[in-house]
Amino acid sequence: MSSQLASSHDRITTPIENQWVSLLKRLLRHRIAMVSLAILLVMFGASLLAPQIAPFPRDRIAIDAIRLAPMEREPDGQLHLLGTDHLGRDYFTRLLYAARVSMLVAILVSVISTLIGIVLGLLAGYFGGWVDIAISRTLEFVSTFPGLTILLIVASILLRNENFIVFPRFMDRFVAALFAISEREAKQVTLIILTLSLLGWTGTARLMRGLTLSVREQPYIEAARALGVSNITIMLRHILPNAAPPMIVDFTLGINGALVGEAGLSFLGFGIQDPTPTWGNTLAFAKDYMLVSPWMPLVAGFPILIVSLAINYLGDGLRDAIDPRSKV
């Protein structure tokens, strides 16, 4: 038998017909999702290259050119593509830098809360019993928190007293480098990320628990158990991949939730503080002048609208691509 195999061994190279590849192919055929993805990539790429692209320094103030309309020029002839804000800072520049903060915050929040949700949901669904009771009750407890109120309390106590917030130094440095902001601003950003994450995992955990409950009863899980596969391996190798598609959609839409959440918080003035630009706080200042300069909130709110829509469409596309019954 084995001599036969020696010859056949070389032939064992049929092209891998991977399910993820076919998923990607289906997604590539989804036009709106692809347009959305392109928009997101361009926005994200531009935000990372903000220092190179931006026509002005981030916090440069043009005293004699406040609240300029888009395409207006300063008296000395410098063009402001999207106009200037109430302090005379270039909107295009501010929004580019803000994109980096807002989008990265949104992605990080979704990553962290999805991770928490997956781990807890998997444990609760797989083991059941008192593990499930403990996790589910905690989950229900957390999800009854009035999120906004908690955020406001945390923000109002801590954001004004950054020095009391003790994060390890390397964390501040890491966040500062990632977001291209100062270490003082990094503390605020870290705090916002953690607060949003710790409030945002409940939906994911609930979804993951439900998926685990249904996958756990599949005969192939029983088969794995009968083969002597350990619990941790069953969870990671058997349950997680089968629960992955809906979790990817959930993760995508979670980014959107975090984006709007952060923007809302900043809009209320309790998020990341000026001068660190975010889309939320930029919009917040713009709204005060909407009666005299109506274009200001439109300019400042536009990126939120576009990115939020794009993420939603991408999520829809993913959902379609994942569902094997929909032949896109």
Residues of this chain that bind other proteins (CB under 8 A): 1-2, 4-5, 8-9, 11-17, 19, 218-220, 222-230, 233, 237-238, 241-242, 244
Minimum distance from residue 135 beta carbon to other proteins (Å): 20
Minimum distance from residue 250 beta carbon to other proteins (Å): 18
User: Residue 327's CB: how many other CB atoms inside 10 A?
Assistant: 8
User: Residue 92's CB: how many other CB atoms inside 10 A?
Assistant: 18
Minimum distance from residue 153 beta carbon to other proteins (Å): 38
Is the Cβ of residue 9 or residue 86 nearer to other proteins in the bound state? 9
Cβ-defined contacts of 172-181 (< 8 Å, 24+): 178/104, 179/100, 179/101, 179/104, 180/50, 180/51, 180/97, 180/100, 181/101, 181/276
Structure-block tokens of residue 154: 């945390």
Is the Cβ of residue 234 or residue 260 nearer to other proteins in the bound state? 234
Kindly tell me the burial class for residue 7, based on how many C-beta atoms sit within 10 Å of its own C-beta (0-12, 13-18, 19 or more).
exposed
Is the Cβ of residue 168 or residue 219 nearer to other proteins in the bound state? 219
Closest to 181 measured CA to CA, from 55, 58, 53, 45: 58
Strand partners, 79: 73
Minimum distance from residue 266 beta carbon to other proteins (Å): 40
Is the Cβ of residue 2 or residue 52 nearer to other proteins in the bound state? 2
Minimum distance from residue 124 beta carbon to other proteins (Å): 19
Residue 164 is given by DSSP the state G
User: Residue 71's CB: how many other CB atoms inside 10 A?
Assistant: 10
Is the Cβ of residue 9 or residue 31 nearer to other proteins in the bound state? 9
